[in-house]
């Protein structure tokens, strides 16, 4: 495939999504689609730079007219529909809070199927239960879908359609297929389990219509409208189920409303009126599908194709109410806390939307239940971020290490050992003369237990021997060491020629490797992980990073830069 065409495709997509195309974002996409391009990274980056410059200077009209031909890779699990003619699908969340990884499955599958069959996706917000409506969630849902790259063609709020539900409720009552029931829940349940009708089942349509109007003045629990089904149905849940009920809690978008449709009724009405051709949902909705078929039958409507996939069990996901309680109690920083599995939290940790999409598509639409695997999601993300995530050093709980009598030298370390063409980060140590003392930070954990005479190796750098230890409260607080000649790594460049001895090499062989940060120019940093925060310092080169950059801290893992304040705030993603 033409490399330039692929680069332009992703550059245009990136600009349309973010306003400005970014070279780093484009290279990740390009290498994901054309793995062989890794063989000549410098040339690919040069061409990306040229194309990104051109795309960023294109007029909006040119962008809209540019034909984006998206190449869809063959996935492990093919997703497809039966009878895919003029496909219309819907993603229908409750506005009770932000979306999480469980919601992402339905959103992404619907989105990908609509793209595949050139159909239409409706975002239908199911907000007819005031007890499950959070006014802020309307915006959060849209934001989360945009983060995932889900594109909807129409948006519908069920709270805007109350008169439609009242109309069809009255029609079912007029037909004699629905009635107003005044039994309390316990009484009705006992009758239903015995396949017996309640005393109100055979009330005339005329009286039921009058009672339906009177319900507006009733209290919650005083009555409901139930649909007549089969009292002998093998599943009691399908027998005469409610379609309208009284809810006294105020709705943020409706004034003076008390009568609300239940999900099975509003969903069936909307799926028909909105022209939905295929309904994709978990197999926990199979009973709901059976209930809704009665509504289609009574109103003489054609049923959509129903597709039920297996449940995705996610042990780590808390309910929306549990997350909200945790936020209010100060246990979580917000909906995007790294400990949560909301879409906001995943993106904040540096999990790319394409990684979530690829993971979901690979799961497919099989009926078998599956267990969510964070490891597999992280593996998908690593494929995307590895080629562009530069590597740096971070030291948590830093302890000072002074190295004396170091010969004048420089250090150059590749930004990524597997992509050396990307360049190096250079450490310019400050020397007054040909020899000098250098100050470093090492972690409290690495410093623990070190004693005079011990030899250690500063990773990718020099070897040293501990000559002095300052101890406070049984912990090493400060270390002084001497430089051991020519124990340095291959990336060290000596200003003056150095000679070594076999004895000095043997001292350092097998010594503990320790991560370090040069004290001069060290940047204060914090890494937020699920449940804890690492406070420390990172190397001066990190000061050039920008918010949203994903990097890899050696021996820690992939992190996304989230904030730049007095210090750098990173969110840990995965190893």
Same domain, yes or no, for 15 and 59? yes
The pLDDT value recorded for residue 213 is: 96
The pLDDT value recorded for residue 65 is: 60
Same domain, yes or no, for 303 and 279? yes
CATH of the domain at 551: 2.40.240.10
Same domain, yes or no, for 249 and 300? yes
Q: Quick check: helix, strand or coil at residue 377?
A: helix
Closest CA to 485 of 466, 509, 505, 460: 505
Tokens matching residue 25: 């974002």
Q: Is residue 45 part of a domain?
A: yes
d(CA 467, CA 461): 19
Query: Are residues 133 and 251 in contact, defined by beta-carbon separation less than 8 angstroms?
Result: yes
Closest CA to 396 of 563, 520, 530, 529: 529
The pLDDT value recorded for residue 432 is: 78
> What does the pLDDT look like over 61-107, one tens digit per residue?
667 666 443 433 433 457 899 989 999 999 999 999 999 999 999 99
CATH of the domain at 236: 3.40.50.620
> What does the pLDDT look like over 106-118, one tens digit per residue?
999 999 999 999 9
pTM over the 0.85 mark: no
Same domain, yes or no, for 401 and 369? no
Q: Quick check: helix, strand or coil at residue 113?
A: helix
Beta bridge partners of 413: 425
Query: Are residues 455 and 507 in contact, defined by beta-carbon separation less than 8 angstroms?
Result: yes
Same domain, yes or no, for 226 and 325? no
| Contacting residues for 35 by C-beta, under 8 A, at least 6 apart | none
Residue 81 is classified by DSSP as: -
Q: Range of 39's domain?
A: 3-65
Same domain, yes or no, for 305 and 431? no
Same domain, yes or no, for 169 and 261? yes
Across the range 403-407, mean pLDDT stands at 91
The residue with greater pLDDT, 39 or 321, is 321
Tokens matching residue 527: 């890494």
Q: What is the enclosing helix (H) or strand (E) of 438? A: strand 435-443
Query: Are residues 443 and 536 in contact, defined by beta-carbon separation less than 8 angstroms?
Result: yes
Closest CA to 240 of 313, 157, 172: 172
The pLDDT value recorded for residue 421 is: 82
Q: Rounded to 5 degrees, what are φ and ψ at 210?
A: -65, -45
> What does the pLDDT look like over 196-216, one tens digit per residue?
999 999 999 999 999 999 999
Same domain, yes or no, for 457 and 471? yes
The pLDDT value recorded for residue 316 is: 75
Residue 227 is classified by DSSP as: E
Rounded to a whole number, what is the distance in angstroms from the first to the last CA of the chain?
33
Same domain, yes or no, for 378 and 406? no
Q: What is the enclosing helix (H) or strand (E) of 367? A: none
Query: Are residues 165 and 244 in contact, defined by beta-carbon separation less than 8 angstroms?
Result: yes
Tokens matching residue 269: 């009405």
Same domain, yes or no, for 192 and 210? yes
């Amino acid at each position: 495939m033409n490399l330039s065409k692929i680069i332009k495709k992703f550059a245009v997509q990136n600009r349309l999504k973010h306003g400005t195309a970014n070279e780093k974002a484009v290279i990740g996409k390009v290498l994901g689609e054309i793995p062989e391009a890794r063989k000549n990274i410098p040339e690919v980056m040069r061409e990306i730079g040229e194309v990104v410059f051109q795309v960023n200077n294109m007029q909006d009209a040119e962008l809209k007219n540019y034909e984006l031909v998206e190449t869809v890779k063959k996935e492990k699990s093919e997703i497809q529909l039966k009878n895919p003619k003029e496909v219309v699908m819907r993603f229908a969340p409750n506005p009770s809070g932000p979306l999480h990884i469980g919601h992402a499955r339905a959103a992404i599958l619907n989105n990908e199927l609509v793209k595949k069959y050139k159909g239409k996706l409706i975002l239908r917000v199911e907000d007819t239960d005031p007890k499950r409506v959070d006014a802020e969630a309307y915006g959060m849902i849209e934001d989360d879908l945009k983060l995932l790259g889900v594109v909807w063609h129409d948006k519908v709020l069920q709270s805007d359609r109350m008169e439609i539900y009242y109309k069809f409720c009255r029609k079912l009552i007029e037909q004699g297929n629905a009635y107003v029931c005044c039994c309390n829940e316990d009484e009705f349940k006992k009758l239903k389990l015995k396949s017996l009708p309640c005393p109100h089942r055979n009330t005339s349509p005329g009286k039921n219509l009058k009672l339906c109007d009177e319900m507006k003045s009733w209290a919650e629990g005083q009555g409901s409208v139930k649909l007549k089904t089969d009292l002998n149905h093998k599943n009691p849940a399908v027998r005469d189920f409610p379609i309208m009920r009284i809810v006294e809690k105020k709705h943020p978008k409706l004034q003076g409303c008390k009568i609300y449709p239940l999900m099975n009724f509003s969903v069936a009405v909307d799926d028909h009126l909105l022209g939905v051709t295929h309904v994709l949902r978990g197999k926990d909705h199979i009973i709901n599908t059976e209930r809704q078929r009665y509504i289609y039958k009574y109103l003489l409507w054609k049923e959509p194709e129903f597709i039920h996939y297996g449940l995705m069990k996610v042990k780590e996901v808390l309910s929306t109410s549990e997350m909200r309680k945790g936020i209010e109690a100060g246990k979580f920083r917000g909906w995007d806390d790294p400990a949560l599995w909301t879409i906001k939290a995943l993106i904040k940790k540096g999990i790319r939307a394409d990684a979530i999409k690829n993971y979901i598509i690979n799961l497919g639409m099989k009926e078998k239940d599956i267990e969510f695997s964070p490891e597999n999601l992280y593996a998908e993300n690593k494929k995307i971020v590895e080629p562009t995530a530069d590597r740096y050093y971070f030291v948590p709980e830093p302890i000072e290490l002074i190295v004396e009598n170091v010969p004048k030298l420089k250090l150059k370390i590749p930004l990524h050992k597997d992509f050396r063409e990307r360049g190096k980060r250079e450490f310019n140590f400050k020397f007054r003369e040909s020899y000098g003392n250098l100050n470093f930070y090492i972690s409290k954990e690495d410093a623990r237990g070190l004693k005079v005479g011990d030899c250690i190796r500063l990773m990718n750098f020099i070897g040293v021997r501990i000559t002095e230890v300052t101890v406070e409260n049984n912990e090493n607080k400060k270390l002084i060491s001497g430089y051991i000649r020519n124990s340095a790594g291959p990336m060290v460049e000596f200003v003056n020629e150095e000679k070594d001895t076999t004895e000095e090499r043997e001292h350092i062989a097998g010594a503990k490797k320790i991560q370090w940060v040069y004290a001069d120019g060290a940047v204060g940093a914090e890494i937020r992980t699920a449940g804890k925060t690492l406070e420390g310092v990172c190397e001066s080169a990190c000061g050039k990073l920008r918010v949203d950059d994903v990097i890899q801290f050696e021996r820690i893992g992939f992190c996304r830069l989230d904030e730049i304040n007095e210090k750098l705030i990173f969110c840990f993603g995965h190893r």
